A = this chain, B = another copy of it.
Amino acid sequence: MLSEIKEQPIILITNDDSIAAPGIKALAEAVKDLGRVVVVAPDKPQSGMGHAITIGYPLRLHESFLIDGVEAYTCSGTPVDCVKLAVDKILHRKPDICLSGINHGANHSINVIYSGTMSAAMEAAIERIPSAGFSILDYSMEADFSAAKVYARKIAEFMLKADPKQHLLLNINFPILPEGLIKGVKFCRQANAKYEERFLEREDPHKKTYYWLTGDFINFDEGEDTDVWALANDYVSIVPVQFDLTDYKLKKELENNWNL
Contacts and interface: CB of A to CB of B under 8 A. Distances in A.
Interface string A43-54: 001011111111
Interface in A38-88: 45, 47-56, 58-61, 78, 80-81, 84-85, 88
Contacts of A207: none
A89 to B, nearest CB: 6
A184 interface: yes
A3 interface: no
User: Interface residues of A toward B: which range?
Assistant: 35 or more
Contacts of A7: none
A254 interface: yes
Contacts of A20: none
Contacts of A114: 51-53, 80
A59 B211 contact: yes
Copies of the chain in the assembly: 2
Nearest to A184: B260
Contact of A50 (B50, B167, B189): B50
A245 B243 contact: yes
Interface stretch (A28-36, A95-103, A141-149, A194-202): A194-202
Interface string A168-203: 110100000000000011011110101001110110
Interface string A211-241: 1110000000000000000000000101111
A58 B210 contact: yes
Contact of A89 (B48, B113, B199, B246): B199
A194 B126 contact: yes
A17 B81 CA distance: 20
Contacts of A167: 247, 250
Contacts of A155: 260
Contact of A190 (B61, B185, B188, B244): B244
A240 B213 contact: no
A53 B239 contact: no
B85 A211 contact: yes
Question: Nearest 4 CB-CB pairs, A to B?
Answer: A50-B51, A240-B250, A242-B247, A58-B210
A49 B48 contact: no
A240 B244 contact: no
Given A112-B245, A242-B246, A56 B45 contact: yes
Contacts of A122: 113
Contacts of A248: 189, 240
Contacts of A199: 59, 84-85, 88-89
Given A52-B48, A167-B250, A245-B112, A158 B59 contact: no
